[in-house]
């Protein structure tokens, strides 16, 4: 329950239009995600007790499959889903997606709060395209052995964020 509680609490901190200031040492959004990267798939249930095996794996980027997920959580008038993608039995990609009713979105305000938190947490400013005022935006950070990417979509009929933690991988040029 600790991992799920941490994720919920972290997103709840940024859920309001005016997020509270971070206390010293407070958990940031998806604080555990970087700790989950590289875990052996067999060890995942022991480290993240709330994780559940999916009946049908979900397809992901670069041919990855998610066979594990945290339970869906209602958070700030939306739904938060966390998926664990593996390659060769190791967690290499953690994806957290939040969706809400487009009529009450405020995704831009919340997106900017997340960007600010990650800039502080990672000690560097992310590379961004778009901003909180645009319909779509993304920010990316290189954090040593892993990368963090945050996407926002508030086009008409949409209200979502996608937060990705992924092991930094050297890719074969043919994959690009």
Mean predicted confidence (pLDDT) in 96-122: 87
Q: What is the pLDDT of residues 121-175, one digit of tens each?
A: 888 889 999 888 889 999 999 988 899 999 999 998 988 989 999 998 666 566 5
pLDDT value of residue 103 = 83
Q: At what angle do helices 2-15 and 107-122 cross, to 10 degrees?
A: 120
Tell me what percent of the residues of the chain surpass a pLDDT of 90.
Answer: 44
pLDDT value of residue 152 = 92
pLDDT value of residue 72 = 87
The overall average pLDDT reported for the chain is 80
Compute the distance between CA of residue 33 and CA of residue 68 in angstroms, rounded to an integer.
13
Kindly report whether the global pTM for this prediction surpasses the value 0.85. no
Within 8 A by CB and 6+ apart from 164, the residues are: 93, 94, 95, 96, 147, 148, 149, 150, 151
52 pLDDT more than 90? yes
């Amino acid at each position: 329950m600790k991992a799920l509680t941490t994720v919920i609490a972290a997103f709840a901190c940024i859920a309001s239009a005016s997020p509270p200031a971070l206390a010293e040492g407070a958990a940031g959004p998806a604080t555990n995600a970087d700790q989950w990267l590289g875990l052996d798939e067999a060890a995942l249930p022991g480290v993240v007790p709330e994780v559940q095996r999916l009946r049908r794996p979900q397809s992901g980027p670069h041919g990855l499959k998610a066979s594990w997920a945290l339970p869906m959580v209602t958070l700030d008038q939306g739904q938060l889903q966390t998926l664990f993608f593996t390659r060769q039995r190791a967690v290499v990609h953690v994806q957290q997606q939040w969706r809400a009713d487009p009529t009450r979105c405020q995704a831009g305000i919340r997106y900017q709060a997340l960007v600010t938190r990650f800039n502080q947490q990672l000690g560097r400013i992310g590379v961004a395209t778009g901003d909180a005022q645009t319909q779509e935006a993304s920010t990316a950070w290189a954090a040593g052995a892993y990368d963090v990417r945050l996407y926002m979509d508030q086009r008409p009929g949409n209200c979502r964020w996608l937060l990705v933690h992924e092991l930094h991988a050297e890719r074969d040029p043919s994959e690009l």
